[in-house]
Structure 1
Amino acid sequence: MLPASGSGTRAAVARVLMEQGPVTAAVVAAELELTEAAVRRHLDALIADGEAEVRAPARSARPRGRGRPAKEYLLTDAGRVRFGHGYDDLATSALRFLAEAAGDDAVDAFARRRVHDLLGTEITEVVSAGDPQDRAEVLARVLSARGYAAQTRRGGFGVQLCQHHCPVAHVAAEFPELCEAETKAFAELLGTHVQRLATIARGDAACTTHVPLEDPELRARARQGEREKVPTPRAAAPRPADWSRNVQENSALPPRAVDPQPAGWSRSVKENSVSESRAVDPQPAGWSRSVKENSAPPSRAVDPQPAAWLRKMQEEEGPAEGGTISHHGLRKGGSPYDDHS
């Protein structure tokens, strides 16, 4: 048995209506083991949402009791959507067959026809709305009435038409011709170029179409520029036909005169400009070595007395009174004229 409260109970009531409807509230209450008051509360909510409806009871051959006949309830088409359906699969299969049998052009023609049928007679209302922005707002209302939950919002120099729901998104994912035909139809209805920015079929949150609008400030500047008077350029004085040729001929400078030179003048100048080499006095072959040898300073004379002779002399004579013998044979403190014999 299903739970007796919340959305689960309402779904259980809807399932009983689908499987056994049309049925009375008493039958539903007995099936779900609920009170009739609780069942009627959920039935009223389903009717308010358009998922259920009341039908007059069928006539019966058996005699009824006293009082008003009991109401019978059953689901509507919107209520059956709660339990799923195969409409998308059926439409996809049909388009596949159409593409195989008649080609892609047939699919394009079907997509254009679908958009025309979708808008119906409201096409005239959209076209007569005025500028593209007003047309986009009317188009959004028409699409919302068809279940697309559309709205417009300003963005930059344009308006974005946003469709937050797409009933054919599953089919359009395989056949983008549906989205392309819709975009072309929007451009024709709005009277301007549009650009599809996003689609639910491609996984986006909404189908967004950008409708460019003219910037009012730029339009005002353009109108102001048209009112301003543009000055006329001053006409140039006419010139004769041969004026250009005469100017070129008169402006050419005559060639500069050059003094004539004899044929051999250049070679003669080069030969005479070469300086004569300076004469150098000849020197004998050994002159340089002889100069070096003669220029060396004479060596200092060295005392010819050897050191051994001086030492022997000191040992033989011994130190004299009043002085010592130097290496020159003189006593220190004595006179060089003293007699040593």
Structure 2
Amino acid sequence: MILDSLKRNGPQSAHTLAEQFTVTPMAIRLHLYDMENEGLVSSENQSVGRGRPLKIWGITEDANRIFPDAHQTLAVDLINTMGELFGNQGLDKIVEAHGARQKSDYLIRLKRTTTLEGRIKALAKIRTDEGYMAEALQDGSSWLLIENHCPICSAAKACAGLCKNELEIFQEIIGHDALVTREDHILAGARRCTYRITEL
């Protein structure tokens, strides 16, 4: 539960986590120290004016093994094998065909959703079901589709076309009445992928 909160909400203090789980900060710290020993979390001190600095906890890269990985080793091996057999152009065609099937599936599941808000929330639900820990949040006049985990991260590193396809698919299924842009990208070093959706 603590790891899930840190994954979804980013680095936090023991006090903030304690409020979420209705326990004492000391109880949270004991869990955090255990997870730190396992290499799942790390902390850094944050200055908050006078007094002792605040210890902020976040997950480490090793913690990703706790979350769904979508059989990443197999996926990477398959991608590399397809590249060897069919070359880059052949791999591009395979990624394109995969994207077409994915888009078709999403469109079927969203066909009864008529509003922009409904489509975004429905897409977040679909992506969560696929292991992306997605959520839809309103941000002023825009919406944010946030994916706190990437279950195909290793595969995406091996084949950048997968990420490019996802952005294009989101734009098509959200509709021509909105613009979809990627603001944060896990492969670029961000802790999550964030897509801003702005109604035109």
TM-score with structure 1 setting the length: 0.35
Query: Quick one: distance in 2 between partners of 1:85 and 1:149?
Result: 12
Q: Could you say which residue in structure 2 is the equivalent of 1:183?
A: 167
Alignment partner for residue 197 of structure 2, among 211, 217, 227? 211
Using CA pairs below 8 Å that are at least 6 residues apart, which structure has the higher relative contact order? Answer: 2
Name the residue aligned to 1:164: 148
- Between the aligned partners of 1:101 and 1:136, the Cα distance in structure 2 is 38
Q: Aligned partners of 2:97 and 2:111: how far apart in 1?
A: 18
| Aligned match for 1:154, one of 131, 135, 138 | 138
**Shift in CA distance, 142/94, structure 1 to aligned 2, threshold 3 Å:** same
| Preserved CA contact (<8 Å) 1:173 1:202 | no
TM-score under structure 2 length normalisation = 0.56
* Structure 1 match to 2:109: 125
Aligned-residue Cα RMSD (Å) equals 2.8
2:106 and 2:147 map into 1 onto residues whose CA distance is 17
Q: Name 2:185's counterpart in structure 1.
A: 199
Gaps of 5+ in 1: 1-80, 215-341
- What residue is the counterpart of 2:90 in the other structure? 106
Q: Deviations over 1:132-168 (max 9, x none)?
A: 3321111111111111111111224321111111111
Conserved 8 A contact 1:91-1:171: yes
SS of the aligned residue for 1:197 comes to: strand
CA distance in 1, matches of 2:70, 2:131: 19
What is the rounded CA distance, in whole Å, between the counterparts of 2:69 and 2:116 in structure 1? Answer: 38
Q: Deviations over 1:279-300 (max 9, x none)?
A: xxxxxxxxxxxxxxxxxxxxxx
Question: Conserved in 1, the CA contact under 8 Å of 2:80 and 2:158?
Answer: no
Rounded to whole Å, the distance in 2 between the matches of 1:201 and 1:186 is: 18
In 2: Cα distance, 1:146 partner to 1:120 partner: 16
Distance 1:104 1:173 in 2: 15
Secondary structure of 1:208's partner? strand
Matched-pair contact (CA < 8 Å) for 1:151–1:163: yes
Q: What letter corresponds to residue 142 of structure 1 in structure 2?
A: I
Structure (1 or 2) with the larger CA radius of gyration: 1
Contact 2:143-2:197 within 8 A present in 1 as well:
yes
Aligned to 1:103, the other structure's residue is in SS state: helix
CA offset digits 1:5-43 (Å, max 9, x no partner): xxxxxxxxxxxxxxxxxxxxxxxxxxxxxxxxxxxxxxx
Give the whole-Å Cα distance in 2 for the aligned partners of 1:163 and 1:196: 11
Q: Which has the higher strand share?
A: 2
Q: Distance in 1 between matches of 2:105 and 2:69?
A: 29
Question: Where is the helix percentage greater, Structure 1 or Structure 2?
Answer: 2
